[in-house]
Structure 1
Amino acid sequence: MVNNNNDYWKANIALIIKCLSIWFVVSYLFGIVLVDVLNTVRLGGYKLGFWFAQQGSIYTFVVLVFYYAKSMGKIDKKFNVHEK
């Protein structure tokens, strides 16, 4: 059971790192570091860098919350620790 428990937490931490990495790229890199490069592209009349800084990172965060919940449900079922 200990090995199975370690595998469960490895899968959980890998998912967390994946989600946080995506959020970091969208919110920090796209919204701050690469804003000037992205501002050369327009999305719905707004500069893309501005959009990522103001809206894109929020939308991405909401999508990641639902993705994390769905993925954790799959991981819980895989390791048989889901709610019954």
Structure 2
Amino acid sequence: MNEDRDRGSEAAVTTAGLVAALTHIDHVGFHAISTNLTGASPKIDRNWSGLVRNARVAVAATSWPEEIQPLAERFAAAAGHTPHG
């Protein structure tokens, strides 16, 4: 019986971590950033860097389901990439 409770607790912790990460990512405002950058008068908001960095950390620190893990890794890599010029 304790084994079932342990599995249930582990699943609850995993689910809570996923919900927390997704909620954080959702509040970054990626759609608004994209819309701004592709609009008629694009300008960069100095706060975006921190928002994207925090989303990257949230993604990297989360245990994603196996089928989503490659997407999370690609996002984390892209969010951490800084162009060299």
Please tell me the TM-score bracket, short chain as reference. 0.3 to 0.5
Report the structure, 1 or 2, having the larger helix content.
Answer: 1
TM-score scaled to structure 2, two decimals?
A: 0.39
